[in-house]
Structure 1
Amino acid sequence: MAFLDLQRTCDLLTRGPARILKNEDLSPTQYNVLRILRGSPDGLPCGEIANRMITRDPDITRLLDRLEKRGLISRWRESKDRRVVLARITPNGLKLLTRLDQPVEEAHRKQLGHLGKDRLRALAELLAAARARVS
């Protein structure tokens, strides 16, 4: 029963932000990558980006190709080890995230704000415990 409740809740909670992202022709996975890269302005190796993603995308290269084609990220080979490809968010990527910050935050507030800080903290702890068991 709890598993189905989690699935239903996840589906409902992803719809609002997904609609906002769709208006910018951005998938939730692409948005996740941009947010990861915003937190690492010097760039990250592609493998590290994949490790930090919320949902695993087996084809990180193609995902980054799409973002690079749109001018939202840039990629280059590391000078010390040419096998390592790094990615960094571009000024255009930062502008897009800045434009999305308020609407996405507002969607999250509308969805979960009624729970209050204590209940949200308890929920986060329960979800972390569930993830730890299956990771």
Structure 2
Amino acid sequence: MGDISKDINSNFINNKVKALINIKYTANWLNSKENDFFKPYGISPQQFNILRILRGAKEAIKVQLVKDRMIERAPNATRLMDKLCDKNFIERSRCEHDRRVVFVKITDEGLMLLNKIDDNNNLSFLNNLSENEAIVLSDILDKIR
């Protein structure tokens, strides 16, 4: 099991500061794992998030709604969607009544990619947590926010 004090060779003025540094360190570690996981699929974690949102919507939704639902607010969400469009994972269409409004929906190819990713489910590091520990961790993170 890791120990943040040993991992970064540091001491902390108190346990709250240690917890904060541990959250940031772990977040960066998770980002690295996530980037490595999605690389073989040719998409980024943010693009995966967009595809997941569109799969859950089950119909075309406004681009702005996708941006609002993203876990990680990406100022480049439009560019991320451009790349997904280029790969035929999503489709765009303009609103008939207001040409400024753009709708997006996931394609069959996008759904197949998500199914492939779902089947992989290589998140073995989560096996280090019991179900109860996962609940407690999630509750603590909610409490911080």
* Greater share of residues in helix: 1
Structure 2 residues not aligned, in runs of 5+: 1-17
Q: Which has the larger radius of gyration?
A: 2
Normalised to the residue count of structure 2, the TM-score between the two structures is: 0.82
Identity %: 34
Normalised to the residue count of structure 1, the TM-score between the two structures is: 0.87
Please state how far the C-alpha of 1:13 moved relative to its aligned partner: 2.2
Does 2:117 align with 1:106?
A: no
Please state how far the C-alpha of 1:36 moved relative to its aligned partner: 0.8
Q: 1:35 is matched with which residue? A: 52
Q: Determine the C-alpha separation between the residues in 2 that align with 1:38 and 1:3.
A: 34
| SS of alignment partner, residue 68 of structure 1 | helix
Please state how far the C-alpha of 1:84 moved relative to its aligned partner: 1.3
Structure 1 residues not aligned, in runs of 5+: none
1:91 alignment partner, one of 80, 88, 108: 108
One-letter amino acid of the counterpart of residue 97, structure 1: L
Q: Would you say how many aligned residue pairs link Structure 1 and Structure 2?
A: 128
One-letter amino acid of the counterpart of residue 56, structure 1: R
Q: 2:75 is matched with which residue? A: 58
Q: Determine the C-alpha separation between the residues in 1 that align with 2:62 and 2:143.
A: 29
One-letter amino acid of the counterpart of residue 122, structure 2: E
